[in-house]
Structure 1
Amino acid sequence: MAKKRSGSAIVEKAGLLAVEKACNDQDLIWRDLLQEDVGVDGTIEVCLGDFPTGKIVGAQVKSGMSYVNGDREDQFKFYARPADLDYWLQLSIHLFLFVYHPEDDQVYWHHVTNYVPDDEGQTSPSTHIVISKENKIDEAFSRYLITLFALEVYDADRLTLLSDEMAATTISVGHGEAAVTISALDLFVGGLWGLCSKVQFHASILLQGIRKHVISRGKDAPIAYTFSRGEIYPFVVKYVRLLTDHGLAKIDIDDVNDSLYRKMEQPTFIAPLTTNGRALVDFLRTRGHADVHDNQFFTLSLVPAVQIEVYATFDESKGEEAFGPYTDVLAIRFNQYLDYYEVQHLARTKNGESTQVRASQIMYFNEMIEYLDRMLTKTPKDRVLLRYLDHPCTPLISWLENWYGEKQLFHIDDLATKTNSDQIGFHDELVSIMSGVGAMTAQEPHLPDFPIRSLFNGEFLNCDSKILSRR
């Protein structure tokens, strides 16, 4: 019986040849890996004209319609095994996935190292990557590789297109008169840090953008902005992709994905700007963006944010003595730069003579509001007192205002003041600079005693002072 050649081998070889030919047409150096293949089929070296640069990326090639799912005119899905994706993301070089589409007779690519999933179902065994059919091995691909290694600085025309794209990538939050539109450009400018050599991101930067818009209106305003995953995450993903696709900052994508899809939280990062990132900063300055400056401070301190007091009864006919005895006190501290909270839940003991600690732990935002929602859901809202100790335009206070339902107006003067976190961050940075030259002694910033022991109903928290003073 004659030996028959495998049809899949023919298709696989066709894919490798298609990638090699396309690379050769773009003056890119393709090299097969003839040794053991455990997830990388070859490498591509970037060239500038006739000169190789020594900048190399890895390539994994898949061929055949079995890898093309949900085929459309503009895109299709490639389903990756989690083990393969994990391996690709752990590589020390950039890895590109190439899929040969036999019916189109075309090779399409996706930059796996900068892979950020499109939805929440990406941690399942059927993890998929959406591959755009605009991504071909062409001149645009060569430019992308050059940008990836900062081998070419964007000129004024490219920076104009980029800044326009960032300004057009927006999200609208709030409703009615409180509605505010924030752009990816707002996030970039608002996150500049370290003498504009780095860009940082945390949830509060989004709020700071909202706050600027509210202040510019010059009148009192309600603060009731929601931050649901369905609304916020697609915008955050688009922003991160703009930073990575244009090589503006050196972002740890693994850490971003860990936040988005394991912790189920918004990512937090401080990333050094690349050559093009710094070029964008200079370009924006020349175009009259007066807010393009280092407007961020940084502190590791947990700052008192909110004290929630829950009372057993409420009788509005009694005037100032409306609240009955307290049942629970939640003291919440916040670090806006790291996006985490310390939640201390104190509760009256059964005999009513002292206070016990029901919970005391560090939480991320979504975890915390789920805890608050469970704890407060059956409590009449007129028995809950919210004592805000920080700027009202923070994620937690925005959520509490939305939860409470009564859209109170915050005075414009209160909205225009700096947050406590900003002030403490300024203190930390000033001390770190001045103490280094012997101008002052390094010391921790002063934080007020927290929780507040004098409750609104006149009672006094009877609890171990060591617990209450813990930071």
Structure 2
Amino acid sequence: MTDFPKVQESDFVEREGVNHVATVVNRAHCVWREVLQRDIGIDGHVEYVDASGNAPGRLIAVQVKSGESRFANATDTHVPFYPESKHRTYWGEHPLPVILVLHNPATKETIWVDAREALRVRPGQAAIQVPRAQALNTDGVVSALHCAGPLPSGATPVDEILGDMARPDAAAQGLCILYLFTQGLTDLANSLYFSMDVLHEVLHVLSADWDPPAFGIGEHEFAFVDNYVAFLVRHDLARVDYGSWRQAMLEREMVGKFIVPLTERGRAVRDAIRHIDDGLPQKEPEELQPYSRAIQERFVQMLYNVSGVDEVSVRQRRINAVQKEINRSKPD
């Protein structure tokens, strides 16, 4: 009997899943870009296309697992998926959201979950729980793309962006995005810094005119910060790593920090603010006028000796000890 190469049934099953994803992504008017060489845990990428046909560069990675056996341990609400160790590391540290898709060829059920976020938030959990309510249909493709951050709504004119930035949030003590954006500029106003100390100092200055001159930071202010970061991402003003931002919030239950470069669009917004500022009369005393600009570089540095102890010297001595131990134990 002639011996021919064998094609396994599993090859057809997996192919059916990938083909289904490609079809659904196409119906969502987005771009499916399959990995054709050396699949090492990612089958392809989905690129977002907005209603005007613009492709603003928003990508997610996708891994498809197809077959009835994938649903063998399903409950009414979730399907557990047990990733191999190599995939846990690869997906958890991937620079893009990794969307795990489970496809059942028999029932045509296709569901998804952000595997990267699941692994980051619960790194020790054996199974990734894929919600059965989270179908990968055309709406599901758009929802999955949101895992990389709020989707760009199109080329919003700069004056409209400025109008949204200048609108005060009454629930958050009158804060507006313009305050955090301008007060966070650093690196010759080419980068943007954020941490809660920026919010704190803005409120400190604003509250000086209040009666009484006091402020608090609560749920409305934290929601405002989340909206601020989402605004930066949605309008592509700065290269914020939205996945890391969410990881800090979900895994460590803290507000993140970043220093990120402005995009071309972010620089256009910066320059528009500067242009408006140039047309305003100068009201500060002469000695304060060098600091009286809406767009100015601010310097960012680590805090030292906050406790009153010379922390740098104490830490450096400990680092020196570690260095000596490394050199002592290093093989000749």
With the length of structure 1 as denominator, give the TM-score of the two structures: 0.42
- In structure 2, the CA distance between the partners of 1:187 and 1:345, relative to structure 1 (3 Å rule), is same
Structure 2 counterpart of 1:19, from 17, 21, 44: 21
1:201 lines up with 2:194 in the alignment: yes
Q: How does 1:66-145 map to 2 (within 5 A)?
A: 84=87, 86-91=89-94, 94-97=96-99, 99=101, 122-125=122-125, 136-137=140-141
Query: CA–CA distance in 1 between the matches of 2:82 and 2:170?
Result: 30
SS at match of 2:160: helix
Structure 2 gap ranges (5+): 1-7, 281-291, 317-332
Contact 2:32 2:47 (8 Å CA) reproduced: yes
Q: Secondary structure at the match of 1:221?
A: coil
1:421-469 C-alpha deviation (Å, 9 max, x unpaired):
xxxxxxxxxxxxxxxxxxxxxxxxxxxxxxxxxxxxxxxxxxxxxxxxx
Any conservation in 2 of the 1:187–1:205 contact (CA below 8 Å)? Answer: yes
Partner of 1:188: 181
Deviation of 1:216 (Å)? 4.2
Shift, 1:192, TM fit: 2.4
Q: Which of the two has greater helix per residue?
A: 2
Partner of 1:213: 206
User: Could you tell me which amino acid in structure 2 is paired with residue 39 of structure 1?
Assistant: G
The amino acid across from 2:62 in the alignment is A
Aligned counterparts of 2:242 and 2:134: Cα–Cα separation in 1: 20
Q: Deviations over 1:134-172 (max 9, x none)?
A: 85446x969x99x88xxx982418x73796499588863
CA distance in 1, matches of 2:128, 2:224: 21
Equivalent position of 1:300 in the other structure: 301
Q: Does 1:222 pair with 2:198?
A: no
Alpha-carbon deviation of 1:260? Answer: 4.8
- In 1, the alpha carbon distance for the partners of 2:166 and 2:88 equals 29
User: Which amino acid in 1 is paired with 2:236?
Assistant: G
Q: Does the 8 Å contact 2:41/2:63 carry over to 1?
A: yes
- Equivalent position to 1:276, from 255, 262, 265: 265
CA contact (8 A) 1:170 1:235 kept: no
Cα distance in 1 for residues equivalent to 2:21 and 2:271 = 38
**C-alpha displacement of 1:207:** 0.9
Rounded to whole Å, the distance in 2 between the matches of 1:38 and 1:361 is 41
Letter in 2 for 1:160: E
Residues 64 and 103, structure 2, Cα contact 8 Å, conserved in 1: no
Flag structure 1 segments of 5+ consecutive residues without an equivalent.
173-179, 304-332, 334-341, 347-356, 363-471
Q: What SS is found at the alignment partner of 1:343?
A: coil
Q: Which has the larger radius of gyration?
A: 1
* CA pair 193-99 structure 1, distance change in 2 beyond 3 A: same
1:154 match: secondary structure = coil
Output one character per residue of 1:3-23: Cα deviation in whole Å (capped at 9) or x when no partner: x967x974x544422221244
How far does the alpha carbon of each residue in 1:346-365 deviate from its partner, in whole angstroms, 9 at most, with x for none?
Answer: 9xxxxxxxxxx9xx889xxx
Aligned AA for 1:88? W
Give the alignment of 1:145-156 within 5 angstroms.
154-156=155-157
Which amino acid in the other structure matches residue 91 of structure 2? W
Moved more, 196-205 or 277-286: 277-286
Task: Write the mapping of 1:359-370 to structure 2, written as runs, cut at 5 A.
Answer: none
SS of equivalent residue, structure 1 residue 182: coil
| Pairs aligned (count) | 280
Q: CA deviation at 1:205?
A: 0.8
Identical counterparts, % of pairs: 19
Q: C-alpha distance in 2, partners of 1:51/1:236?
A: 28
Post-superposition Cα deviations, 1:110-132, rounded to whole Å, max 9, x if no partner, equal 695xx699xx9645526779998
Q: 1:90 to 1:123 in 2, by over 3 A?
A: closer
Choose which of 318, 329, 343 in structure 1 pairs with 2:307: 343
* Aligned pairs (5 A) from 1:360-399: none
Determine if contact 2:207/2:214 at 8 Å carries over to the other structure: no
Could you report, residue by residue, the CA deviation over 1:28-58 in whole angstroms, capped at 9, with x for unpaired residues? 35324464x4420124578999999999864
Closer/same/farther in 2, CA of residues 188 and 89 from structure 1, 3 Å limit: farther
Give the Cα–Cα distance (whole angstroms) in 2 for the partners of residues 292 and 80 of structure 1: 55
The answer to whether the 8 Å contact 1:154/1:279 transfers is no
Query: Which TM-score applies when normalising by structure 2?
Result: 0.54
Letter in 2 for 1:42: G
**C-alpha separation in 1, matches of 2:82 and 2:231:** 24
Determine which structure has greater relative contact order: mean sequence separation of CA pairs < 8 Å that are 6+ residues apart, divided by chain length: 2
